[in-house]
Structure 1
Amino acid sequence: MSESAEKDLYAILGASPSDSVQQLKHRYQQLALLYHPDRLGGVCSSEAESGLRKFIEIDAAWRILEDHNTRREYDLQRRAKELKQDWPVDSTVCLEDMTWDQDHSVYTYCCRCGGEFTITEEEVDETQKRRHQKDDEEEEGERGGVVVCCDTCSLSVYVTSSLHTKAQKLKCQ
Structure 2
Amino acid sequence: MAGDNNVCSGVSEAAEKDLYAVLGASPSDSFHELRHRYQKLALQCHPDRLGDVCDSEAESGMRMFLEIDAAWRILSDHSARRQYDQERRAQQLKQDWLVDSTVSVEDMTWNEEGCVYTYCCRCGGQFSITQEEMEAEMQWRQGANEEEEAVEGHHVVVCCNTCSLSVYVTYPLHSKASRFQALN
Letter in 2 for 1:3: E
Task: Give the RMSD, CA atoms, in angstroms.
Answer: 4.0
Q: Normalising to structure 1: TM-score of the pair?
A: 0.62
Residues 68-87 of structure 1: pairs in structure 2 closer than 5 A: 68-87=78-97
Match of 1:20 among 34, 37, 41: 34
Letter in 2 for 1:24: Y
Unaligned 5+ runs, structure 2 = 1-9, 27-32, 49-62
Deviation at 1:83, TM superposition (A): 3.0
Bigger relative CO (Cα 8 Å, ≥ 6 apart)? 2
Unaligned 5+ runs, structure 1 = 35-52
Residues 98-113 of structure 1: pairs in structure 2 closer than 5 A: 98-104=107-113, 105-113=115-123
Rg bigger for which structure?
A: 1
Match of 2:103 among 70, 74, 93: 93
Distance 1:141 1:85, change over 3 A: same
SS, match of residue 145 in structure 1: strand
Contact 2:41 2:68 (C-alpha < 8 Å) held by counterparts = no
Number of equivalenced pairs? 158
Letter in 1 for 2:173: L
Distance 1:119 1:141, change over 3 A: farther
Contact 1:32 1:58 (C-alpha < 8 Å) held by counterparts = no
Match of 2:129 in 1: 119
Distance 1:125 1:55, change over 3 A: same
Contact 2:16 2:88 (C-alpha < 8 Å) held by counterparts = no
Instruction: Give the distance between the partners of 2:16 and 2:165, measured in 1 at CA.
Output: 25
Q: Normalising to structure 2: TM-score of the pair?
A: 0.59
